Amino acid sequence: MTTQPTLKVAIIGGGMFFDDIIGQTFKDFLRGGIAGSLTSIGMSHLASAVANVKIDVCAVGTRSEKSGTAGNIVKWFANDFPDHSIDACYGESVWRDILQKHKPDVLFVATPDNVHTQPIIDAIDAGVDVITEKPLCLSTSEADTIIKKAEAAGRIVAVDMHKRYDPFIREMMLKAPEMYGPINRVRAVLEEPLEVSTEIFAWAEDSNPFAYVGCHWLDVVHHYMQVKPVAVFATGQKNLLLNWDKHHQEIAARRGIDPATFKRTNSINTWDSMDVAVTYDNGMRGDYNNNWINPAEFEGAVNQEIELYGIYGRGMVDQQERGYREAIIGDGSRTRNPSFGGRIKHHGGHLEIFGYGKASIAAGLLAIIRRRILGESMEDLCDTYPTAKSQREIVQVIEAASAVAERNYHWLQKGKGTPATALLTASGFELLEPRF
């Protein structure tokens, strides 16, 4: 009797998109494996080879037992899979207990931005492959450690860079060299709703809007255009969140609600928005604009767009211009993006999602299956998913931009303008600023 090959997956963190994307994706994979998702990543030729691989979620871990998040997630899974046992785990280093107790094949890291590195390293040391939410980490030295350990151990570290798989963006980026010619400039915008920094993320002060979502556009540009960043200039604004103890009352008044209903009413020491200019080795400039204070009243879940300016033509993908709008009493006029996480109920009544949010996770799992079960080499897989190595320069830009923006904020307060910039080096970056 042949034993069905199984991939045991443990998940840490509850993530903002857990129910909508991460959790529902794993429900789909528990039910039918990953073969049906491979068309979205251009790998359907491998469907028959992986069709019999079972995906088994063995544990979910979150930090605080008081919040009950892991337990709630397990109950949510049990609604669809009452006979499937998933362990709810808690603790400051919950991943270590999970790695020791459950010995998973894969650790999915959905923790805050600043808490990715140690779980990834511990998983590699335990012989476990990893899929992590973006960004990989927040410093170049941490990225180097992760890359070195993964390569030495022959383990997969995949990053959930789902914008690579957005069919609109992929179409534009793949045709750009032929249709637009050499690209002079890229302009990219991604703006998150205000509730992200004030209500959802208690860790907003440990990251910034550029690290949180700007990394998506960096990945798209670096991956499809194969450019190397050489210099970074950045500025940022600290008007709303730094003074949230005052401004939340005005926002509450404008909405006609009690200010006490906000989860956070204290000052939040982080950027409202960041504007980052990257110069690339071919002379191209990338302008990345990110914030996490977009009003809830905005028509879309987020505001996102990317535009390429070439010498023969230009292309633009704007989420609000994809053609799906609704006007609903009490909710107003809204745009939707089912390309990210569309939902469909089959004749059997099972909910399933489709879209590039799911595709990115499938790409990482496919690489792990090919390595762990099909026995393929790391070299065979390196261009088939967002690798840790592919994220090094993205982390480098994030780290440099954070430092430059802080220095320029410092100089601006002193009436000296914004003179700081950064030169990217082999080991990280060199901060350049005048001596007044």
Give the per-residue pLDDT at 310: 98
Q: Give the pLDDT confidence of 419-428 residue by residue, as tens digits.
A: 999 999 999 9
Q: Give the pLDDT confidence of 136-160 residue by residue, as tens digits.
A: 999 999 999 999 999 999 999 999 9
Flag the least confident range among 38-52, 324-338, 389-403. 324-338
Q: Please tell me the pTM assigned to this model.
A: 0.96
pLDDT exceeds 70 at position 2: no
| Domains of the chain by start residue, with CATH | 6-162+341-387 (3.40.50.720), 164-334 (3.30.360.10)
Q: Give the pLDDT confidence of 279-306 residue by residue, as tens digits.
A: 999 999 999 999 999 999 999 999 999 9
d(CA 363, CA 352): 18
| pLDDT mean across residues, the chain | 96
Is the torsion defined by CA of 70, 342, 223, 374 positive or negative? positive
